[in-house]
Structure 1
Amino acid sequence: MRRTRRRHVLFLLTAVTGATLAPVAPSFATEVAPPETVIETLADLPERAVAGGEAGTPVVETETPFSMIGFTLPAGADEVTVRTRGLDGGWSDWEVLDREVIGLDGPDPDTDEAREAATDASEPLWVGDADAFQVRVDGEISDLAATLIDTEGLSEGTVAKVVRHLRPRAVPVVAEASNRPAIISRAQWGANESLRRGSASYATPRFAVIHHTAGSNSYTKAQSASVVRGIYSYHTQTQRWSDIGYNILVDRYGQIFEGRAGGLERGVVGAHAANFNSGSFGVSVMGNFEVADIPAVAVESVARVVAWKYDVHGIDARASRTISHGGRTLNVLTAHRNVGSTACPGRYFYAKMGALRSRVAALATGATPAAPAPAPTTPPTRFADVPLTHGHYAPIEQIATRQITSGCGSRLYCPAETVTRAQMASFIYRAFDLPAADGHRFRDLDGKAHQEAIAAVAKAGIANGCSRDRFCPDRPVSRGEMASFLQRALDLPLRQSPFVDTGHSVHDRAIGAIAAAGIANGVSDRRFEPATEVHRAGMALFLSRALEE
C-alpha cells in the first residue's frame, strides 16, 4: 500500500475581503491558530472478495487518524461504500459515496478550472475521528485510492498543541454593515491560501443556488470550521478545483462561513453548479437533508445571508421573481436540483424553499448596491498591487508590519519581481535584526544600495560572495541560494533533501533543512526547482515561515 502524505502548514494572516458594500481597511485580532491540515493518499489498497461481485478491502489501519475521507474511483465505478472505525473502537454504518458528476457539480465547462478538474473523485465524507476503514467498490481495488484528511489535529503532539495555543496568530477583522449577518472569514476558519490556484473570476450575480453538502449531520458546532477546512482541502487537492466550490457555507447551528475567495461583496464565480456558476452565488448547508430535517436556525441564517447578498448586488428579492438563464426560467432563489439532475439540497430542505423565498423577501432591504463586480480602483490595503485577494497577501502584510520591507515604490510591493542577492541581504538583515559590520571585502559594492546589509550578512556568515571578492548584488537569487541563506540565518541542522531534483545542487542539504523546518515546500511532484528565481511574493512567504521558527 503506497502512502503519500502532505502537511499544509497554516498561516492565518490570510487573504480576506471586506464585507461591506464599500471596502474598508481591515484591523487585526489574535486567535489561536487551528492545527495544520494533514492529507494522506493511500493507493495499492489490499483486496478481499466480498459478496455480490464487488471488490473490497479488509480493515485498513491508517498510520495517522483522519477526520474526512474520500476516494479516487476506478473507471466505470459510480460509487464506493465505506465504513470507518472511530478512535473509540466503534464502527460506523456503511455509507455510499457517489462519484462527483462532471457537468452537475464543479466548475462551468470549457473553463480552465474545469479542464484541470479530476473526473474520478467521489464525494467526501466527514467522519470526526477515525483510524481505520473498509471499502467496497464495483471495480478494481488496484485502481482505487483513498484520500484521508485530518483537520482536527488528531495526531498533533502535546507540545505542538501547547505552542499553538501560546502563540496566537493575527487575523484580519473587517467592520460589518448593519444588515450583514456575522460571517466567519476564510482567515478565521483557517483557510490555507497556498492550496488554491489562480485568481478569482467575476460575473454580476442574478440569482442564488441553494445546496447541501450531503455530508455528515453529526458534527459539533466546534467542529464546523474543521469540516469547512476538510471540504476546502478535498475540493482543491483531490478534485483539483481552484478553490472551495461554494461561495458561502452555513452549518446546522446557523454559523455562516465565507467560501470561495475573491470578496463576499463581489460576484465571485464559484464551482457549485456546473453551467450555472457564472451569474449566480452558491450557498451550501453542511449536512445531508435527504435523510434528516434541516434545523430552523440554519434556514434562518441562509435567509439572512442571501438577503444581504441580494442587497449588495441589487437582486429583486420578491418570492415570485424569476429570470431566464441557460435556457431555463429560474426563481432568483433556486435549488441545485432545479438546475441539474440531483436530489440536492435534499427533500427536507427542498420542502422549505417556498418559505425560504418569503423570508428572504421580508429581510432584503432593496438597498441600491454599490458599484458592481469590478475591483475598487484603490484597494484598501497597504500596497496597491497586493489586494486582499492576493495569494500572498498575508505574508507580505506580515513582513511589512514588522518593517522588513516598505515595498518597491509608492504604495507598491511589486510581488512578481525577482529578488536580487542585494535585496535578499536587506530582507535578512532587517528580519533577523543583525548587527552592523565595519566594512566588507567585496569590490563590486561601491555606491550600491544595500551595502550595509550585505556587509552585515557576510559578517554573520549567512551570505558568501559569488567569488572571492565579489558579491554579485544584482544577480537574481535562486530557490537554492535562498535555502542556504535561511538555513544559515536560523542555524538549522543540515539534512538530506527529500526532493528528487536537488541531488546535484550545492544547496541540497540546506534545502533539506528548511523543508524539515516547514519553511519551504516543493513546487510539485517532489521537485524543488533549486535553480528557479525567487520572486518578492515568494520571498515574503519564506520569511514569514522562517520567523515562526
Structure 2
Amino acid sequence: MRDYLASSIGVTCAAALVLPLTLTAPAQARPSASATGSDRTGAAADVAGPAADRAGPAADPAGSPVATEATVPGSTQSLPLAPLSGTRAVGAAAEQGLTPRNVRRFSLVGVVWNDPATELHGRVQVRTRAEGTTHWSGWQDVETHSHEHAPDPDTAEGSSHRARGSTAPLWVGDSDGVEVRVRAEGDRAAAPDTRALPGGLRLELVDPGAQPAAGTPKGSSRAGLAPQAATEIPALSKEQTERELLAEQGSAPRTQPYIGPRPRIITRHGWGADESLRARSFVYTSKVKAAFVHHTASGNKYSCSQAPSVIRGIYRYHVLSSGWRDIGYNFLVDKCGNIYEGRAGGVTKAVMGAHTLGFNSNSMGIAVLGTFSSTKPAAAAVNAIAKLTAWKLGLFGANPRGKTYLKSAGGNLYRKGKNVRLNVISGHRDGFATECPGKQLYGKLGSARSTSARYQGR
C-alpha cells in the first residue's frame, strides 16, 4: 500500500509530530515456545500461526526490522488454549480454556486466534489473581469483537500475514494467576459454523512495563508543536489557535476559521510508548472529514494515574498480539478528561488508523478508556471529546454538527464502494454493526457535537 501525504488543507497549521525511527537490528534468534506458551517482546512479531512457528525475526508491512528483546520494556505471554475436560458442549472445539495457573506478572488480558476474518461466536471469561496474594477475582466477561476494530481489509496492514483475530483487551491490574474459558454459542441449525471456535486460540497476558524515565526518546525526533522529549503538547487559547492557523494560510486567508482552542495533548513519549514496537513508516489519507468515537471495552477499573499503563498495554496488544502496525486509535481519552496522542504520524495530520473497519480513510478514531454499555462516561471525558474534535476537525474545515460522506471499504453495514452519509462526529456503531462505543457513551454524542461546535464559534 502506498503512503499518501496529507493534504495541505488544515495540516499546515503547525509542524507535524512525526517520529522517524532508527530501530535496533533484529536479533538472530528468538526464544523458542515452551510447553505453556511463548513471549512476544519484539516489534512485528509474526502472529500468523502457533508459537512454535513464530521463531525468528519478521519484518513489518513497511519492511522495518524488529527490535531485540533487550530494547523492549514489558512483555506478552502467549498461552495456547486447550479443550476443557468434562465439557458438555458439542465437540472438543466448542469449549476451550486454561485451568488456574501461576504466570508472570501481567495487567491486561485478551484472546487472539489465527484468522482475522473469522468471528468468535461465543463467550470469553477470565478470572485473575491479584499479584502477591491468594485473592482471585470473580469471572469477568471479555468483549469478543473481532474485525470491527481493525485495519481496512484491502490495505497492507489489514492483509498482513501478521494480522490476527482478537477480542477486546481487558484491564485487570497487576496479577500473577489466571484462568480462562471460551465457550462457543450459536444456533447450529441456523448457522452451522457458529458452534465451533476459531482455530489457534491463545490467551495473551500483557505486562505494559514501567513508565520510562524522563529524557529524549531513543531513535525519535519531534519538531514544531513540542520539543523532542516533551511529554505534552500545551493548550492554546482560541485566539492563539486562530492566529496560528491564519498565519499558516498566508497573507490573504479565505475566511475567519472555525476552529476550537487546541487542547492539551499528552504525547506518545508522555505515556511511555516504546517506539521500537511499531512500524517505522506512516500511512496518511487526504483529510479528516469525520471522527468516530469508541470505547476500549477494557473495563473501568483503572485510576487516571494508571491510564498511561492501560494505553501501553493496549498498544502492545494491538501491535504484538493483533499484528497491527501501531495502536489502532488516533487519540485516547481517560475518565479524567486527559487526551493522549495515539497512532504515530503527527497529531495535526490525517493519519490512517485501525479503528472502524471500512471507514479508516479520511477519518480519525477517538477511544475513551473504559466500557460504557451500562456505565455512564464521565462528563470530563465527553467534554474532552468535544474539545479535541473542535480543534482537529477545525483544522480540516469540518462542522461538528454537520454531515459528511465517506466511501466504505467494506463491512457488515455497507458494501465496499458505497458513499455513506454520516455525522461528522459519529459513534463506531454508525459505520459498523457493533455495540461500541457502548449505549451510555453513544447517548452523549449529541451533547459532544453541540459543545464541539460551540468551541469552534459556530
TM-score (norm 1): 0.56
- 1:30: which partner in 2? none
Q: Which residue in 1 is equivalent to 2:153?
A: 109
Q: Distance in 2 between matches of 1:294 and 1:66?
A: 26
Which consecutive segments of 4 or more residues in structure 1 shift more than 6 A?
none
Tell me the amino acid that sits aligned with residue 106 of structure 1.
Answer: A
Q: Distance in 2 between matches of 1:86 and 1:121?
A: 24
Preserved contact between residue 100 and residue 122 of structure 1 (Cα < 8 Å): yes
Q: Residue 330 of structure 1 corresponds to which residue in structure 2? A: 422
**What is the match of residue 217 of structure 1?**
300
Within the alignment, does 1:315 sit opposite 2:398 as a pair?
A: yes
More divergent stretch after superposition (118-127 vs 219-228): 118-127
Specify the alignment match of 1:344 in structure 2.
436
Residue-by-residue CA offset, 1:160-203 (whole Å, 9 max, x unaligned):
x9xx76xx423522565432111110011111111111422112
Residue of structure 2 equivalent to 1:200: 282
SS of the residue corresponding to residue 361 of structure 1 reads helix
Q: CA deviation at 1:330?
A: 0.7
Counterpart Cα distance in 1 of 2:327 and 2:163: 14
1:66 aligns with 106
Question: RCO higher in 1 or 2 (8 Å CA, sep ≥ 6)?
Answer: 2
Q: Decide whether the 8 Å contact of 2:296 with 2:368 is kept in 1.
A: yes
Code of the residue aligned with 1:151 in structure 2: it is P
Matches within 5 A, 1:123-522: 123-138=168-183, 143-153=200-210, 168-170=214-216, 172-173=229-230, 176-178=235-237, 179-203=261-285, 204-317=287-400, 319=401, 321-326=402-407, 327-365=419-457
Matches of 1:296 and 1:355 in 2, distance apart?
Answer: 10
Maintained 8 Å contact 2:294/2:436: yes
The one-character-per-residue Cα deviations of 1:249-292 (angstroms, maximum 9, x if unpaired) are: 00111111100000000111111001111011111100000021
Give the alignment's Cα RMSD to 1 decimal.
2.6
Q: CA deviation at 1:122?
A: 2.0
Segments of structure 2 that go 5 or more residues without pairing to the other structure are: 1-34, 44-71, 184-195, 218-228, 238-260, 408-418
Which residue in 2 is equivalent to 1:2?
36
Amino acid of the residue matched to residue 188 of structure 1?
Answer: G
The Cα of 1:51 is off from its aligned counterpart by 5.3
CA contact (8 A) 2:108 2:169 kept: yes
Q: Residue 216 of structure 1: SS of its match in structure 2?
A: coil
User: Quick one: which amino acid aligns to residue 340 of structure 1?
Assistant: F
Pick closer, same or farther for the CA change 1:141–1:337 going to 2, 3 Å: closer
User: Which of the residues 82, 85, 92 maps onto 1:48?
Assistant: 85
The 1:36–1:330 alpha-carbon spacing in structure 2 relative to 1, beyond 3 Å, is same
Give the Å deviation of 1:316.
Answer: 2.0
For 1:137 and 1:301, locate their aligned partners in 2 and report how far apart those are by CA, in whole Å. Answer: 36
Q: 1:46 to 1:86 in 2, by over 3 A?
A: farther
Secondary structure of the structure 2 residue equivalent to 1:290 = coil
Deviation at 1:40, TM superposition (A): 1.5
Alpha-carbon distance in 2 for matches of 1:324, 1:272:
18
1:487-520 deviations in Å (ceiling 9; x for gaps): xxxxxxxxxxxxxxxxxxxxxxxxxxxxxxxxxx
TM-score w.r.t. length of structure 2? 0.66
SS of structure 2 residue aligned to 1:297: helix
Provide the C-alpha distance between the structure 2 equivalents of 1:119 and 1:323, rounded to a whole number of angstroms.
32
CA distance in 2, matches of 1:141, 1:276: 25
The offset of 1:45, in angstroms, is: 5.2
Distance 1:94 1:185, change over 3 A: same
Per the alignment, do residues 254 and 41 of structure 1 end up closer, same or farther by CA in structure 2, a change over 3 Å counting? Answer: same
Tell me: CA distance 1:308–1:133, structure 2 relative to 1, closer, same or farther (3 Å): same
**Is the CA contact (8 Å cut-off) linking 1:310 and 1:364 kept in structure 2?**
no
Of 69, 78, 99, 2:121 maps to: 78
Deviation at 1:7, TM superposition (A): 4.2
Return the alpha-carbon distance in structure 2 between the equivalents of residues 302 and 89 of structure 1.
Answer: 40
Unaligned runs of 5+ in 1: 10-34, 154-160, 367-549
Secondary structure of 2:181's partner?
A: strand
2:315 match: secondary structure = helix
Deviation per residue, 1:319-344 (Å, 9 max, x gap): 2x111223221111111111110111
Matching of residues 525-544 of structure 1 within 5 Å = none
Q: Structure 1 pair 91/52, CA: closer, same or farther in 2 (3 Å)?
A: farther
CA distance change for structure 1 residues 263 and 136 in 2, over 3 Å: closer, same or farther?
Answer: same
Would the aligned equivalents of 1:289 and 1:349 in 2 still touch at CA under 8 Å?
A: yes
Preserved contact between residue 113 and residue 241 of structure 1 (Cα < 8 Å): yes
Contact 2:110 2:169 in 1 (8 A): yes
In terms of Rg, which structure is larger?
A: 1
Distance 1:266 1:83 in 2: 41
The one-letter code sitting in structure 2 at the alignment partner of 1:323 is T
